[in-house]
Chain A
């Protein structure tokens, strides 16, 4: 079965991203597919490459990047929500005349259409948020 995942709350403040991560891991272990995870609202902040949590704490961004690398999960960050919150990839930073970009490996910025498409193409849509 194909699961699509919507994450609409930011990391560290709220448990939503952790719950989603454990759900996705369990789904993959059970042999299901998770073709895409869509990050919306403050959820886009998961994708920052500049987060430096204490060494004895989980690194939420790295956990997701590893899932993308090991299982081909497509991690999509909503462009409209990301731009509001200062999350830019290299192309977008250039286009907007900004001096830095901060989208971590395994994540990509795209439009809200990717969320709708995920709803159409997966069997179940799971939402984790606040």
Chain B
């Protein structure tokens, strides 16, 4: 292991709002960003619903935390893997997801997409390449 940097993967398989898991998972990601580890997020199964556009929680009296995903780039969390099959099974495409970008300071602060749509097989590869997997 190099310099004590571990690969952390946060696995999100649950939809937002019905339960608190998605929000409290995001809280761990934000705190964890201060630890300078190699962080990735995985969204599969119902977890893909966390990233959809047009969430409006005004009438259920719960905080809408979906804008927070767009701030992840400021925390240097730039790898959000989203499983293609999970989207398709739920009638979604990449266009139904929020645009999430990060600024690459090594490339003249160019904005680059954080969301990476991957196949199920590629997602399995991402999972198998980690040191620590946190599931909520």
Contact = CB atoms under 8 A, between A and B. Distances in A.
Is A in direct contact with B (CB under 8 Å) within the complex?
A: yes
B134 interface: yes
A80 interface: yes
A-B interface, 9 closest residue pairs, ranked by CB to CB distance from nearest: A112-B31, A119-B132, A116-B32, A116-B35, A125-B132, A112-B28, A127-B135, A113-B31, A41-B24
Contact of A112 (B27, B132, B135): B27
A8 interface: yes
Is the interface on chain A under 10, 10 to 19, 20 to 34, or 35 or more residues?
A: 10 to 19
Contacts of A35: none
Contact of B8 (A6, A40, A119): A119
Contact of B6 (A6, A111, A115, A119): A119
A127 B28 CA distance: 14
A129 B135 contact: yes
For A6, A8, A40, A116, the residue with the greatest tally of chain B CB atoms inside 10 Å of its CB is: A116
A116 B28 CA distance: 8
B133 interface: yes
Given A40-B24, A41-B21, A119-B8, A112 B32 contact: yes
Nearest to B28: A112
Contact of B35 (A40, A120, A127): A120
B31 A81 contact: no
B75 interface: no
Interface in B18-34: 20-21, 24, 27-28, 31-32, 34
B4 interface: yes
A20 to B, nearest CB: 14
Nearest to A112: B31
A117 interface: yes
